[in-house]
Amino acid sequence: MPTLKIPTPLRPYANGESSMVLPGEIVEDLLQAAVEVHPMLKKHLFNEDGQLRPYVNLFLDENNINQLEGLKTPLSDGDTVLLIPSIAGG
């Protein structure tokens, strides 16, 4: 099964976990599995329409999934998906 790495700002919504090994054949499945285990993550990952929020960046190993197949990017056992929220400030 693939692993989803959770960044520090989102860990309070994931019971403090820094990573989760979850089922998923594509990135979208992995995120849905994470939300099923930790429902508080949903509002931080998806908007009201169920679309991934624009400030949520996902990387499969070192590749941004937007440069692959987006949420439909296939996953294999042992893959690691990094969840990296954008940081803004001024």
What gap in Å lies between CA 25 and CA 2, rounded to an integer? 9
Find the CATH number of the domain harbouring 21.
Answer: 3.10.20.30
Please tell me the total count of domains within the chain. 1
- Report pLDDT for 61: 85
Residue pLDDT, tens place only, 38-53: 999 999 999 999 999 9
- The domain of 63 spans 3-85
Q: pTM for the whole thing?
A: 0.91
CA angle 28, 30, 31 (to 5 degrees): 65
Nearest residue to 2 (alpha-carbon basis) of 27, 39, 35: 27
Q: Are 10 and 89 in contact (CB under 8 A)?
A: no
Q: Is the pLDDT of residue 90 over 70?
A: no
Residue pLDDT, tens place only, 11-67: 999 999 999 999 999 999 999 999 999 999 999 999 999 999 989 999 998 899 999
Do the domain assignments include residue 90? no
